[in-house]
Amino acid sequence: MNLMKDFNNTQIKEVKMSETQVDTPDVNQESTTVASEPKQPIDQVPYARFKELVDEKNTMKADYESLRSKVKGESETRQLKDMESKGEYEKIMADMNARLETSEKKSKAWDSYQATRRDSLLSRLPEDDRAVYDGLPLDKLELHVDKHTTKPSPASVDNSQATSTGGYATFEEWAAVDPVGYNKANDPQTSGKIKIAYGG
């Protein structure tokens, strides 16, 4: 356990040091910077530095988890050897049986979930296809069912009535705002409407 604490303290110190070590440019260096470089406000971190720190953190986290599982495994092995040397075989058997029961419960719950999910997915398929797809692994069956049962949403259509005013509130507004469109729509030769006039 002391090994774990030492490792954690070392990593925390390294992270704190890497966070506090910021390259501060000399006054002489500032005068030589190119004018095309954008100056960042003090409270912002360049993306490259941010990504570097996040990657470093993720690496340390993975290392920590692997060491933690290794230490836990070694601890359990050491404890098992100590119990064997003391002749506590009954306690070892009780611990192993408890672990086995827990694992069996989880296994049964998982099997039950898979069977229920498989039945649910197969019920969404036509009766003829159920026998064909029954042997697929659950993840592939889910993909297949989702792909073939998802219907695309229909495109929205404007079903409102067309107006005779060209989309404007009144003919006067139409003529004022769009005189070319108004004249074209109301000209008997270009509008496609037949206008019958009587009289002289």
Interval 65-74 mean pLDDT: 92
C-alpha–C-alpha distance, residues 125 and 142, integer Å: 11
The separation between the first and the last C-alpha atoms of the chain, rounded to the nearest angstrom, is: 111
Identity at 55, one-letter amino acid code = D
Higher model confidence: residue 105 or residue 194? Answer: 105
Whether residue 132 is found in the same domain as residue 72: no
**7 and 58 in a common domain:** yes
Residue 178 clears pLDDT 50, i.e. is over it:
yes
C-alpha–C-alpha distance, residues 102 and 92, integer Å: 16
In terms of domains, do 64 and 130 share one?
no
Least confident of 62-66, 90-94, 149-153: 149-153
Within-domain flag for 2: yes
Residue 116 is assigned to a structural domain of this protein: yes
Distance CA 46, CA 51 (A): 9
165 neighbors 153 (Cβ within 8 angstroms): no
Domain match, 80 and 115 both: no
| Digit-coded pLDDT (tens) for 33-53 | 445 556 666 778 899 999 999
pLDDT given at position 26? 52
Q: What value does the mean pLDDT take over residues 50-74?
A: 94
Q: What is the pLDDT of residue 200?
A: 44
pLDDT band at 70 (very low <50, low <70, confident <90, very high): very high
Whole-number pLDDT of residue 4: 54
Query: Percentage of residues in the chain with pLDDT exceeding 90?
Result: 24
Cα radius of gyration (the chain): 38
Q: For residue 59, tell me if it sits in a domain.
A: yes
Look at residue 25 and tell me if it is in a domain.
Answer: no
Higher pLDDT, 135 or 11: 135
Written as one letter, the residue type at 193 is K
Cα–Cα dist 188/185, whole Å: 8
| Tally of domains in the chain | 2
Task: Determine, yes or no, domain membership for 198.
Answer: no
8 A C-beta contact, residue 80 and residue 92? yes
End residue of a domain, out of 112, 130, 149: 149
Which residue range forms the structural domain that includes residue 63? 1-13+44-87
Residues 98 and 140 reside in one and the same domain: yes
Other beta carbons within 10 angstroms of residue 168's beta carbon come to 16
d(CA 132, CA 92): 48
Q: Of the given ranges (4-8, 102-106, 113-117), which has the lowest mean pLDDT?
A: 4-8
**Same domain (yes/no): 72, 98:** no
Mean pLDDT value across the chain: 78
pTM of the model: 0.39
Mean pLDDT of all residues in 46-65 = 94
CA 51 to chain centre: 19
pLDDT bracket for residue 190 (50, 70, 90): low
